[in-house]
Amino acid sequence: MMDDLFDGFRRRHGREPDAPTRTRLQGRATFDDPSCQARARSLDELLATWRRRAIAVTDRPTVDNLLATAQAAARNRSAVTGLDRPPRRGGPGRGRRAPAPASGAATSWPKPAAT
């Protein structure tokens, strides 16, 4: 595919591509060529692969214990902190106003236009 892009450039412009153009053409070839891209995999497939790799490096009881510990910690954390709740609408600090400066104090904020 990259050779086709280089050949097309040569035909259109009558010269070899310069270094920045070669880099752009190589990037385009990599982006456009499906064989260069990783195949999308489901979360279940990824988890199974990671588990097999972890067991190959350690052993099954270690992986099982680590998983159980992580799941318990996640359950405990969400129960204590409420992290399982969706975020508030508008994000943090939305709808709050800056405190008014003390009387007579200078401020760097412009005064709002009268409405």
Q: Is the pLDDT of residue 27 over 60?
A: yes
Is pLDDT at 83 greater than 80 in this prediction? no
Tokens representing 72?
């318990």
Work out the angle between the directed axes of helices 2-13 and 19-32 (0-180°, nearest 10).
Answer: 140
Average pLDDT score over the chain: 79
Measured distance CA(42)–CA(103) in Å, rounded:
60
Least confident of 18-22, 40-44, 69-73, 88-92: 88-92
37 vs 73, higher pLDDT = 73
Give me 87's structure tokens. 């975020």
Domain residue extents for the chain = 2-36, 43-81
Residues 6+ apart with CB under 8 A from 98: 109
Mean pLDDT of 75-79: 75
Q: Hey, what are 93's tokens?
A: 């600090």
